[in-house]
Amino acid sequence: MKITEQFLKKILVSPSLISEKDFDLIKKKALAEKKSLINAILDQGLIFDEQLGRLIADEIQLPFVNLQKTKIKKDILNIIPEIVARQQETIAFEKSQEGLKVALSDPENIELREFIERKTGEKVLPYYATEKDIKETLKCYKREIKEVFDELINKALEELKKTVKAESLPIIKMVDLILSYGYENRASDIHFEPYQKKTILRYRIDGILYDVLTLPETIHEFLISRIKILADLRTDIHEAAQDGHFSFSFPDEKADIRVSIVPIEEGEKAVLRLLSERARRFDLEGLGVGNKETEIIGKNIKKSWGMTLVSGPTGCGKTTTLYAILKILNTREVNICTIEDPVEYDIEGVNQIQVNPKTGLNFSKGLKAIIRQDPNIIMVGEIRDEETSKLAINAAMTGHLVLSTFHATDAATTIPRLLEMGAESFLISTTLNLIIAQRLVRKICSKCIESYEISPEKIAQLLGKDLVLKLPRTKEGKILLFRGRGCSLCYKTGYLGRTGIFEALEIKEPIKKLIIEKATADQIKNKAQELGMRTMIEDGLKKAEKGITTLEEILRATKE
Ligand SMILES: [Zn+2]
């Protein structure tokens, strides 16, 4: 049964659970955000999933079940094979004398009922469950990774007694499983760390390393061999570092996996980076850039020449921001060339060169080569020395749009740091269009988010008096903020996912003047704020106010 707009209107607007006006607003929002109407209604928070589910069930005269609150036995769940359950959005949840109770999100799916009856010989008793509930419950099919691994390890040990090679099936399965499990858990990196008597498998999820499994040391070298085979590396070399990559098909996408193997005292340590498209949506909004900053960036990258820098410490997401900008600029009419270390993503239609220390190809040499390729837009992975800074400024001067990253604590500090590197103040003031600075902060887990009140005095202690004024007060004069309580979804951390906090310093006339006068970072920052720049902390506070991140995260991130 398709749950149509009319159907929802009938069960929500007629009994005035939602006003007609709200309903129409939500409808527009759903359309604009390309969401299903049901999800848009739920997101609005006017009604809970279970409430809505019960209303739908009543209307179609089926009993309702909340699967999340139902204890489902493994053998009952497994009556419907996982693949069928996923495709048809159905869960078998209980067996009674009368038959098999099956939750469906589409109760009119007669074929499915017949299929189950044929297969099990049981009468199907249909229940209605919401799509969201069923999707959550589908996760029950996965066994604990430890359980699956114990089995595989035993098989592998058995097999390794007979043949000694990495192509043995249990080893292949183990590596596949480690990758799939990492992907499902949104790991960005997977570490295989050898110790004297064991190997520890770690996943980096949202920037934090979690120990996932301890494996017997006898298996370690076979896992490493298997990874080497996948990445086309030498399996007979154990004493040298090796890099490579391979692609792996996950259910949702084919992702590139970058492999780095380094010999350490206890053996070879492998780190796999999952370069999943899903994990990185290359658009500014998805990265957390606010409307105001997006507008400033848009305006400045439209200029035909000059330089845009993204500043911050290592690992703050600078390169991802550059990719997002390149994606905007990447049209047929322009010639874009990059020199990167390493090339993290292949962008169609862009000439990407990778720094290669073996052949002496560094940023400055690469940049010289690129300029001969008649580009309109040049991206230099990083400006980290005088020669590269001079070449980049020169390229910007001669009519190219240059994008790069720079190591500095904030936007204003970038300018004195460039001067220290030996760049001419006059040239900087002429060529710089924009400096973006950023940090990554963890997002509050949406499943266990809660609000709390904090006094303005307490915040003033943490942030200083000026910033407190920017936060709205409750009637009692307190400030409302958010945090995650910690739940199973977020590994009890209260955080899930990351986003950026940004500042965008436009190099307008008064700033140019300060650059030529070799003003300090503070002077530049003050002037920029006077001209309307929102600092990273201010952007962070906006995100804290909206319940996206916590005050602690902003403080932690901006302390670097
Ligand atoms: Zn949580």
Give a yes or no: residue 477 inside a domain: no
- Ligand 1 mean position, distance from CA 443 (Å): 10
Give a yes or no: residue 543 inside a domain: no
Q: How far is CA 355 from CA 326, 338, 362, in A?
A: 19, 10, 5
Q: How far is CA 392 from CA 389, 406, 444, in A?
A: 5, 12, 39
Residue 84 belongs to what domain range? 5-141
- Ligand 1 mean position, distance from CA 84 (Å): 29
Query: E strands within 7-70?
Result: none
Give CA–CA dist 41/248, Å, rounded.
Answer: 37
Mean pLDDT (whole number) for 28-52: 84
- Ligand 1 mean position, distance from CA 490 (Å): 4
Mean pLDDT (whole number) for 386-406: 95
- Ligand 1 mean position, distance from CA 493 (Å): 7
Q: Strand pairing partners for 54?
A: none
Give CA–CA dist 174/197, Å, rounded.
Answer: 19
pLDDT above 70 (res 171): yes
Judgement on whether residues 165 and 187 belong to the same structural domain of the protein: yes
pLDDT above 60 (res 279): no
Judgement on whether residues 26 and 92 belong to the same structural domain of the protein: yes
Judgement on whether residues 192 and 79 belong to the same structural domain of the protein: no
Residues 147-156 pLDDT 10s = 677 777 777 7
Q: Strand pairing partners for 269?
A: 262
Would you give the DSSP letter of residue 139?
G
Judgement on whether residues 16 and 68 belong to the same structural domain of the protein: yes
- Ligand 1 mean position, distance from CA 510 (Å): 46
Highest mean predicted confidence (pLDDT) among 5-19, 41-55, 449-463: 449-463
Per-residue three-class SS string for 422-446: CCCHHHHHHHEEEEEEEEEEEEECC
Give a yes or no: residue 111 inside a domain: yes
pLDDT of 259: 93
- Ligand 1 mean position, distance from CA 399 (Å): 50
Give a yes or no: residue 541 inside a domain: no
Residues 203 and 212 sit within 8 Å (Cβ to Cβ): yes
Judgement on whether residues 407 and 288 belong to the same structural domain of the protein: yes
Judgement on whether residues 157 and 28 belong to the same structural domain of the protein: no
pLDDT of 391: 93
Sheet holding 377-383, edge to edge: 351-354, 336-340, 377-383, 401-406, 306-311, 432-444, 495-506
Of 235, 250, 275, the last residue of a domain is 275
Give CA–CA dist 527/506, Å, rounded.
Answer: 11
Give CA–CA dist 283/302, Å, rounded.
Answer: 16
- Ligand 1 mean position, distance from CA 285 (Å): 23
pLDDT of 278: 57
pLDDT above 80 (res 163): no
Residues 415-424 pLDDT 10s = 999 999 999 9
Nearest CA to 223 out of 287, 280, 180, 178 is that of 178
Q: What CATH number does residue 300 fall under? A: 3.40.50.300
- Ligand 1 mean position, distance from CA 168 (Å): 39
- Ligand 1 mean position, distance from CA 69 (Å): 18
Judgement on whether residues 210 and 115 belong to the same structural domain of the protein: no
What burial class does residue 358 get, using C-beta atoms within 10 Å of its C-beta: 0-12 exposed, 13-18 middle, 19+ buried?
exposed
Give a yes or no: residue 462 inside a domain: no
Residues 525 and 409 sit within 8 Å (Cβ to Cβ): no
Residues 283-328 pLDDT 10s = 788 889 999 999 999 999 999 999 999 999 988 999 889 988 998 8
Alpha helices in 338-385, H assignment, sequence order:
363-371
Q: What CATH number does residue 201 fall under? A: 3.30.450.90
Residues 516-555 pLDDT 10s = 999 999 999 999 999 999 999 999 999 999 999 999 999 9
Q: For ligand 1, a single-atom ion, which residues have Cβ within 5 Å?
A: 445, 447-448, 484, 487, 489-490
Judgement on whether residues 524 and 406 belong to the same structural domain of the protein: yes
Asked whether the CA dihedral 150, 152, 266, 202 is positive or negative, the reply is negative
Average pLDDT over the chain, rounded to whole? 87
- Ligand 1 mean position, distance from CA 72 (Å): 23
- Ligand 1 mean position, distance from CA 482 (Å): 12
pLDDT of 146: 65
Judgement on whether residues 133 and 150 belong to the same structural domain of the protein: no
Highest mean predicted confidence (pLDDT) among 87-96, 213-222, 280-289, 498-507: 498-507
Of 110, 141, 172, the last residue of a domain is 141
Write out the H or E segment, with its range, that includes residue 204: strand 198-205
Give a yes or no: residue 378 inside a domain: yes
Angle at 517 between CA 514 and CA 520, to 5 degrees: 65
Of 225, 257, 275, the last residue of a domain is 275
- Ligand 1 mean position, distance from CA 442 (Å): 12
Judgement on whether residues 86 and 214 belong to the same structural domain of the protein: no
pLDDT bucket at 268, cuts 50 / 70 / 90? very high
- Ligand 1 mean position, distance from CA 444 (Å): 8
Nearest CA to 354 out of 381, 375, 386 is that of 381
Residues 195-241 pLDDT 10s = 988 999 988 866 667 777 888 888 898 899 999 999 999 999 998 89
How many domains does the structure of the chain reveal? Answer: 3
Q: What CATH number does residue 42 fall under? A: 3.30.300.160
Residues 356-393 pLDDT 10s = 888 888 999 999 888 888 899 999 999 999 999 999 99
Give a yes or no: residue 220 inside a domain: yes
Residues in the chain: 560
Judgement on whether residues 30 and 82 belong to the same structural domain of the protein: yes
Residues 544 and 479 sit within 8 Å (Cβ to Cβ): no
C-alpha R_g of the chain: 28
Highest mean predicted confidence (pLDDT) among 41-50, 244-253, 287-296: 287-296
- Ligand 1 mean position, distance from CA 450 (Å): 10
Pairwise pLDDT comparison (94 vs 34), residue with the higher score: 94
Give a yes or no: residue 469 inside a domain: no
- Ligand 1 mean position, distance from CA 189 (Å): 21
The pTM score is 0.58
pLDDT of 142: 64
Nearest CA to 381 out of 409, 411, 356, 404 is that of 404
Give CA–CA dist 237/226, Å, rounded.
Answer: 13
pLDDT of 218: 83
- Ligand 1 mean position, distance from CA 178 (Å): 23
- Ligand 1 mean position, distance from CA 12 (Å): 30
pLDDT above 90 (res 60): no
Judgement on whether residues 153 and 165 belong to the same structural domain of the protein: yes
